[in-house]
């Protein structure tokens, strides 16, 4: 019975995800491209992106700014010239920035990124809200 409930839940989530994709496809695809670049992934769904390796680069921040401008999102743009991509930033600061950027974009499509501690390590997760 547990497998049935899990399978049913996955099917429901995928159906909701498909409806979200249909109704806001262009924006969703732009955000998905951003998330895939940020995490070096090639996922077809925001919920399936592997949140393992963060790749914060000038290109990623440019795409973030492009999405904000293109879709009229009322969030501040990132001033890329203040980033030095050769510096090793504190992991917690990078995670906070990544969560902020992602949640700024996710707000319009009802997703949320958050971190949880697991065995003393921060793990990023995405959920629908």
User: Is residue 6 a part of any domain in this protein?
Assistant: no
Tell me what pLDDT residue 5 has: 65
Question: What value does the mean pLDDT take over residues 79-84?
Answer: 87
User: Is residue 105 assigned to a domain?
Assistant: yes
pTM of the model: 0.78
The whole domain housing 103 covers: 23-128
Q: Is residue 16 part of a domain?
A: no
pLDDT of residue 13: 79
**How many folded domains does the chain comprise?**
1
Structural domain contains residue 2: no
Secondary structure E strands in 8-110: none
Would 18 be classed as within a structural domain? no
| pLDDT (0 to 100) of residue 21 | 60
Total number of residues shown for the chain: 129
Is position 4 within any domain? no
Percent of the chain with pLDDT over 90: 55
d(CA 73, CA 70): 8
Q: C-alpha 41: how far from its chain's center?
A: 11
Tokens of 16: 């909701």
In a domain, 44, yes or no: yes
One DSSP character per residue, 57-89 reads: -HHHHHHHHHHHHHTT--SPPP-GGG--TTS--
When pLDDT is averaged across residues 81-110 and rounded to a whole number, the result is 90
């Amino acid at each position: 019975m547990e497998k049935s409930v899990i399978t049913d839940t996955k099917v429901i989530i995928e159906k909701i995800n498909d409806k979200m994709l249909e109704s806001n496809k262009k924006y969703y695809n732009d955000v998905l491209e951003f998330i895939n670049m940020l995490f070096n992934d090639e996922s077809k769904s925001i919920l399936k992106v592997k949140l393992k390796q963060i790749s914060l680069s000038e290109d990623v921040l440019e795409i973030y700014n492009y999405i904000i401008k293109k879709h009229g999102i009322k969030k501040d743009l990132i001033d890329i010239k203040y980033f030095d991509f050769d510096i090793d930033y504190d992991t917690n600061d990078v995670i906070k920035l990544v969560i902020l950027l992602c949640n700024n974009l996710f707000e319009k499509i009802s997703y949320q990124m958050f971190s949880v501690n697991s065995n003393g390590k921060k793990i990023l997760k995405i959920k629908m809200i």
